[in-house]
Amino acid sequence: MRDTMGLILCGDEAIPPITDIRAISALPIAGRYRIIDFILSCMANAGMINVGVATQSNYSSLMDHIKSGNPWDLDRKNQGLTLLPPNMSRVSYGTIKGNIDMMASISDYLHRSQQTYVILSLGNAILNVDFKKVIKQHIETGADMTVIYKDLKGVEDSELSRFTLFEFDEDKQVVDVEVQPYYPKVTTAGLGIYIMEKALLESIIDECSARGDHDFVKDAVAKKIGKMHIYGYEFDGYADRIDSLKSYYRNNMIFLNDEVRRELFNPHRPIYTKVKDQSPTQYGANATVENCFISDGCLIEGTVENCILSRGVKIAKGAVVRNSIIMQDSVIDCDVTLDHVVFDKEVYVTRGRKLIGQESYPLAISKGTKI
């Protein structure tokens, strides 16, 4: 797939307080990974040698994580992984109001890229997809654009309303689109991933910028229905997008499910991440650990159940932590009780404190907080 490039847009969507200092794409997930690792690894596994990551704000954490792209074999003298902060001189009115503006600000990068096709990722998707199969279908159908979707049958309307929904005919050609509808008509949810020729994407960006449009789906895809051949590629594996604290919590906890974990960490399509050389996790003599996803460098002397722990977390004797996400270098002191909480990095909870959230509304604590 050297004739296909990847473009990942990391917008400024917010999940306070855990995105106060970072983009959603840089949020830790499953302990040692970041959200961007999934889509970036899918592109690397497909053999792409040119991937651009466009940013909007709070991108220092993202820069530190991906750096030159070495874990994804994208640290190359020519092409490889390119981090693309916005060039405001290329944006109409001098402000970024949508993903069209983000792409307009990096138009020089797109123009220089030599590939014929582009895989565009607009969201913060969690999935492990074989892009080789997607490109093959795109070419065989003669599509102008292909959208990757998942049929969410049986899912509540409130969950469907988080997605862009596509309606297809019997040939899987798009006939209608709904952007986060309050009353969904269909259950086929787009995953924010689009495949097309690079020349078409550049044309769409120019056209939308000239009209003062800002949103790729609302102002480009929706208006092109009936004028272009837009087909769907159905993905039948686990997939979701992270756009709220509730979805962030749920998509971390899903890694405690053996079946989903095996699918997402498919050995034939590995998920890569930044490597940190740390000592193995240490468990005290009285430690109790059940159904957890624990990274390297932790020290556990208390009770931990149904949790996701990032690197370097310390849980003291007598502490009880359940159903929680604890990010890097946080410290839980003696006799602390935690349930359904999401801790950012370097949170320190002093002796005897009790913090309780709910599955539908986990309690989130910002980086560096002392309680």
Last residue of a domain, one of 234, 264, 294: 264
Q: Is residue 270 included in any domain, yes or no?
A: no
161 and 297 housed in the same domain: no
Q: Is residue 271 included in any domain, yes or no?
A: no
24 and 64 housed in the same domain: yes
Q: Tell me, what's the pLDDT at 91?
A: 58
Last residue of a domain, one of 264, 294, 318: 264
User: Distance between CA 87 and CA 108 in Å, rounded?
Assistant: 10
Summarised one tens digit per residue, pLDDT across range 241-300 is 999 999 999 999 999 999 999 999 999 999 999 988 789 999 999 999 999 999 999 999
User: Distance between CA 268 and CA 17 in Å, rounded?
Assistant: 36
User: Distance between CA 241 and CA 192 in Å, rounded?
Assistant: 9
Q: Which 8-state DSSP code applies to residue 221? A: I
Summarised one tens digit per residue, pLDDT across range 100-156 is 999 999 999 999 999 999 999 987 999 999 999 999 999 999 999 999 999 999 899
250 and 290 housed in the same domain: no
198 and 340 housed in the same domain: no
Count of domains observed in the chain: 2
Helix, strand, coil percent content, the chain, rounded in steps of 5: 25, 30, 45
Number of Cα atoms under 13 Å in the Cβ half of residue 283: 10
158 and 306 housed in the same domain: no
Percent of the chain at pLDDT > 70 equals: 98
Last residue of a domain, one of 238, 264, 290: 264
> Mean of the pLDDT values across residues 218-233?
92
Return mean pLDDT, the chain: 93
> Mean of the pLDDT values across residues 44-62?
91
Question: Is 315:322 a contact under the CB 8 Å cutoff?
Answer: no
Q: Is residue 289 included in any domain, yes or no?
A: yes
Q: Tell me, what's the pLDDT at 87?
A: 67
98 and 163 housed in the same domain: yes
Summarised one tens digit per residue, pLDDT across range 160-173 is 999 999 999 999 99
- Whether residue 92 is predicted with pLDDT greater than 70 in this model: the reply is no
pTM for the whole structure: 0.94
CATH number of the domain where residue 86 is located: 3.90.550.10
154 and 9 housed in the same domain: yes
Q: Higher model confidence: residue 211 or residue 304? A: 304
DSSP string for residues in 111-157: HH---SEEEEE-S-EE----HHHHHHHHHHHT-SEEEEEEE-TT--H
Q: Is residue 275 included in any domain, yes or no?
A: no
221 and 295 housed in the same domain: no
123 and 60 housed in the same domain: yes
- How many residues are given for the chain? 371
Q: Which 8-state DSSP code applies to residue 358? A: B
- Whether residue 89 is predicted with pLDDT greater than 80 in this model: the reply is no
- Whether residue 88 is predicted with pLDDT greater than 70 in this model: the reply is no
Q: Tell me, what's the pLDDT at 310?
A: 96
Q: Is residue 277 included in any domain, yes or no?
A: no
251 and 316 housed in the same domain: no
Q: Tell me, what's the pLDDT at 226?
A: 87
Q: Tell me, what's the pLDDT at 85?
A: 85
113 and 44 housed in the same domain: yes
pLDDT confidence bin for 78, thresholds 50/70/90: confident
Q: Is residue 65 included in any domain, yes or no?
A: yes
Query: Does residue 45 sit in helix, strand or coil?
Result: helix
179 forms beta bridges with: 164
Q: Is residue 272 included in any domain, yes or no?
A: no
Summarised one tens digit per residue, pLDDT across range 335-369 is 999 999 999 999 999 999 999 999 999 999 999 99
Query: Could you list the residue range(s) of the whole structural domain that residue 327 is in?
Result: 282-365
CATH number of the domain where residue 319 is located: 2.160.10.10
Number of Cα atoms under 13 Å in the Cβ half of residue 131: 27
Q: Is residue 371 included in any domain, yes or no?
A: no
249 and 290 housed in the same domain: no
